[in-house]
Chain A
Amino acid sequence: MTRPLIEARDISKRFGALQALADVDLDIREGEVLALVGDNGAGKSTLVKILSGAHAPSGGDLVMDGKPVEFASPQDSAAAGIATIFQELALSENLSIAENVFLGRELTQRVLGIPFLRHKAMKRRVGELLKELDAHISDPEVPVGSLSGGQRQAVAISRALNLNARLVIMDEPTAALAVAETRKVLQLIRNLADSGRAVILVSHNMHDVFEVGDRIAVFRRGRKIADKMRTETTPEEIVSFITGAHPDVRALEMQS
C-alpha cells in the first residue's frame, strides 16, 4: 500500500471545556474517496477545519508526504495543496465561471506595469478543467448566478483543481441538490479520485457515502469509532455506529 498523503496523528481539539476531537488517527490516500460520517457535533467539521487551516489542533500532529506540517491559516493549507469546498460555496454569482475559477489568482501579463488579464489563456484553462471533470458546461463566460447547484459544485471543484489541489475536501456537497444533480456531483467526486487526487467527503447521506466512498470513517462524540473499507461494511452497520447502537460502541462507551 502507498504512503498516505496526509496522516492525522492523535489530533485533539478543545474549545474551552468542550472536547470537540479526542485522539483522532486518520490516513488519507491519493486516489481514494474517504467519507466522514457522524451525527451533528461528532467532530467531522472540526477535523475538516483543522485540515483546511481554519482551526489549529490543541494536540497531535499532521503529517503530509511523511513530513510534519502546521497550518496557521487557510492560505497555508491551500499552499500545501488542500482545497476545501464549503457547503456555502464561496462563488461570486455576478462573475463568470472563468472569473470565479481564477478569482484572486488571475493570469496576467504586465504591459507598462499594468497587469492585463490573459482572458484567452484563462478561458482555455477553464475549458480544459470543465472537460476533465466532464461537467457539461460549454461556455466558461456564463455568469455563475445562472448555473444550477450541481454546476456550481463543478465550478468550485474546477477552482480547487486550478490550485493544483492534491486533497479536495467537500462539505455536504449534495445537501441542497435534486436527485439528478446529486448523481452528477457524485460522478465529479469519483472523477477527482480517479485522476489521483485524495477526496474527503463529509456527508449525512448514507446513499451518497456508499455510492462514491472507498472508505468510511465514523465519528461519534469527538472520537473516530470506526474506519472501514466500503466493501467490508453495510449501511446498517455504519448507521449503528453513528447512533451508538453497535455493540463495539456500547462496549467502548461503557468503559469510559
Chain B
Amino acid sequence: MSNPLDWFGRREALLAVACLAAVLLFSFLSPYFFNAENLSAVLSNSVELLLVGLGMTLLLGVGGIDVSVGVAMGLAAIAVGRLLQAGVTPAVAGLAGPVAGLLIGVGTGSVVVFGRIPAIVATLGLYGVYRAGIYLCLGGDWLSGLPIGLTELVGTGIAGVPLAFPIVALTYLALYVALRRTPFGPHLLAIGDSEAKARLSGVSVNRTQLLAFIISGGLTGLAASFYVATYRNVEMTIGGTLALEAIAAVVLGGTSVIGGRVSLIGTVLGVLLLRLLQNGLLLSGVPSLWQTVVTGLLLLFVLGIEAVQGRLSLTMLMRSKSGRLASRVAQ
C-alpha cells in the first residue's frame, strides 16, 4: 500500500468515467433515463449481481471460476420461496437464502477442490445438475405471488434505508478486510498466480480455494433472498444469464480472468456499468434480447484488449499460469 492510489488504479478510473459517460449519453437518448426513480431502479437492480460478482471476484482471483452461480441462486431462491409459502417468519426465510447458498458453496467447492477437476469443467457439470434440481423442485410450475413479508422487511430496512445498502456495504468491507488484513488475501493471490508455487511455500491451497467457493456460495444465497424479496416469484429460467453477467462485470473491473489479481471496487463499477448500459439501451428502445449480446461483447472486448496488451494469452491459459501478469493488486 505504498501507493495510496493502489486500490483505485487506472482501470477503476476508466470504469468510473465510462459510467458517467453512459449516464450522459442515455440522458440525451431517452427522456426517461435521468431521474431519481430510474437511477434508483438501476441501483436496486444491481444488488444481486453485486453480491454474486463480489463472490466471483474471489473465485477468479484464486484461479477458479463458477459458471453455476445462476442456478445455485435459483435453488436458494426456491428454499426461500417455499419457506415463505409455508408461513415462516420473513426474517427466517430471508436467512435461509445465505444458509442454502453456503451449503451449495461447500458442495461446489468440494467437487472442484477434492475432485481435482478444473473449476470451469466441474461447475459446468454442476450447472446441469443444479438446473435439473430446479426443474425437480418446481415441478414445471413457477413459484409466484409469494407472501409480501420479506419484500416489506427488505424494503423498509433500517430507519428507512433499504436493507440492500448496509448489506452490500458490509459485504464489501468484510471482503476488503479479508483480502487486505488477513493471510487469506496473499494466499488467494499466490494461488491465483501459481498453485504449484503457493503449495511449495506452504500455503494451504485446498483450504483457501474451498473458502473462496463457500464465501461465493453464501453471497449467491444472499442474492437469492433479495431476488425473492424483489420479484416475489421464482421462475423456471431463474439465473440464466447471471454467471455470464457476473464474470463479465468482474473481468471488466480489472480482476484477472486467470487469477492472481483482484479488484473489489472494480467489480462494483463493472456491475454498475453493465446495469446502466442495460437500462439505458432498454429505455432507448433497444429490445431486451440485446442485453445479453451487449454483456457478451463487453466481456470479449475486455479480454481482447488484455490479450493485445499481453496480459493474457491462450498459451498462458494452457500452461496453467506462468505468473507473468501485471502485478498490481487493487481492492
Contacts and interface: CB of A to CB of B under 8 A. Distances in A.
Given A105-B202, A143-B327, A145-B327, A95 B2 contact: no
Interface of B: 1-2, 181-183, 185-187, 189-190, 192-194, 197-198, 200-203, 260-261, 323-329
A104 B203 contact: yes
A142 B183 contact: no
B2 A141 contact: yes
A94 B183 contact: no
A116 B182 CA distance: 5
Interface in A131-170: 139, 141-146
B2 A92 contact: no
5 contacts: A92-B189, A99-B190, A104-B187, A145-B323, A146-B327
Given A92-B197, A94-B261, A103 B190 contact: yes
Contacts of B186: 92, 95, 99, 102-103, 106
Contacts, number: 79
Nearest to B203: A104
Q: Is the interface of B mostly helix, strand, loop or mixed?
A: loop
Nearest to A141: B2
B298 to A, nearest CB: 25
Interface residues of A, number: 26
Contacts of B187: 103-104
A114 interface: yes
A75 B2 contact: no
Determine which residue in B190, B192, B193 has the highest number of CB atoms from chain A within 10 A of its CB, and name it: B190
A66 interface: no
Contacts of B261: 94
Nearest to A104: B202
Contacts of B1: 141
Given A102-B186, A103-B187, A141-B2, 7 more contacts: A92-B189, A94-B192, A95-B186, A95-B329, A103-B201, A104-B187, A117-B181
A90 interface: yes
B189 A117 contact: no
A95 B189 CA distance: 7
B2 A94 contact: no
A115 interface: yes
A93 B327 CA distance: 7
Nearest to A163: B202
A94 B182 contact: no
B181 A91 contact: no
A108 interface: yes
Contact of B2 (A106, A114, A142, A144): A142
B190 A115 contact: no
A99 B327 CA distance: 13
B9 to A, nearest CB: 13
B193 A95 contact: yes
A85 B189 CA distance: 21
Shortest 7 CB-CB contacts between residues of A and residues of B = A104-B202, A145-B327, A143-B327, A92-B190, A106-B183, A90-B200, A103-B201
A117 B182 contact: yes
B78 to A, nearest CB: 33
B230 to A, nearest CB: 32
Given A95-B189, A103-B198, A104-B201, A117 B327 contact: no
Given A103-B202, A104-B201, A146-B327, A92 B193 contact: yes
Interface in A226-253: none
B203 A93 contact: no
Given A117-B181, A141-B2, A94 B260 contact: yes
A100 to B, nearest CB: 8
Contacts of A116: 181-182
Contacts of B202: 75, 103-105
Nearest to B325: A94
Nearest to A98: B186
Contacts of A74: 200
A92 B189 CA distance: 8
B288 to A, nearest CB: 39
Interface string A104-138: 11101000001111000000000000000000000
Contacts of B200: 74, 90
A92 B183 CA distance: 14
Contacts of B185: 117
A94 B326 CA distance: 7
A105 B204 CA distance: 11
A139 B2 contact: yes
Contacts of A142: 2
Contacts of A144: 327
